[in-house]
Amino acid sequence: MHKVNRKIYILPNIFTAMNALCGFYSVVSSINGNFMAAATAVIVAMFFDIMDGRVARMTNTESRFGMEFDSLSDLISFGVAPAILLYMWVFPHEGRVGWLTAFVFVICGALRLARFNVSDHSDSRFFTGLPIPAAAFICVTWFLFCNKTGFEGKLLEVISIILSYLVAFLMVSNVKYPCLKKMDKDQKIPFNILVAVILAIVLIASEPQIMLFITAFIYLLSGLVIFIRSIHAKDRNSVESE
């Protein structure tokens, strides 16, 4: 008989637990009507989500338990929490349309995580489908953007519903998205890229509530651009082969 490995590595799982704590706090804050705290908690959860994986790799403490625990925490922080935020902020008077929109976001996030756990990660440059932390980031920064600009009314509700369904669909799609978390620490980048990154940081720091959403939306569009370019490349290759 094979002995079951019951060891649980403490350090990375503490970061994962903090991720889940932030997600739960975000849900409670949304229910209490404190949407700014709810959005901030989701963003803080992203920091812990990045750190748990990095700590596990640096300390050679990666495990199947850690991966499953991370997925469950991600579903709380990046699936349930932003969905509750959107529902309590935009959809409370939308009836069935409102809670179904929030549910579709959650269920697509759960499917995205399940597919990621069983898929092949041989190409670490790209994710298949919009990562659930990025989807959550788009939703919470949409709130920050609207809160800063004072955007409200029926148009806000319509755009929020469209954005929620778009993000949910992209999570379960086959659209490729750049994997920013696994960049090689020894990888050298061109000088002009470094300058662009510094300028982007300055722009975000100047108007964070606006620029964070713009940055998130650019990432959303990047996958669509990659998808369209891949289709054009296939069409070009098929024409050349005829």
pLDDT digits (tens, 9 = 90+) for 61-88: 778 888 888 999 999 999 999 999 999 9
> Encoding tokens for residue 19?
């991720």
CA 156 – CA 174 distance, rounded (Å): 28
Determine what percent of the chain is predicted with pLDDT higher than 70: 85
The pTM of the full predicted model, rounded to 2 decimals, is 0.86
Q: What is the mean pLDDT of the chain?
A: 85
Give strand pairing partners of 126: 178
CA 144 to chain centroid: 16
pLDDT per residue as tens digits for the range 3-55: 444 556 787 889 999 999 999 999 999 999 999 999 999 999 999 998 887 88
The answer to whether 20 touches 77, Cβ cutoff 8 Å, is yes
CA separation for the pair 201, 212 (Å, rounded): 10
The residues that bridge with 178 in the sheet, in sequence order, are 126
Is residue 199 scored above 50 in pLDDT? yes
| CATH code for residues 10-181+189-241 | 1.20.120
Least confident of 129-133, 190-194, 203-207: 190-194
Q: Where are the beta strands (DSSP E) in the chain?
A: 126-128, 176-178
* Residue 6, C-beta contacts closer than 8 angstroms, at least 6 positions apart: none
DSSP-derived secondary structure letter, 185:
T
C-alpha torsion sign, points 226, 231, 235, 237: positive
pLDDT of residue 126: 78
Backbone dihedral angles phi then psi of residue 139, each to the nearest 5 degrees: -65, -45
Domain map of the chain by residue range? 10-181+189-241
SS3 assignment, position 188: coil
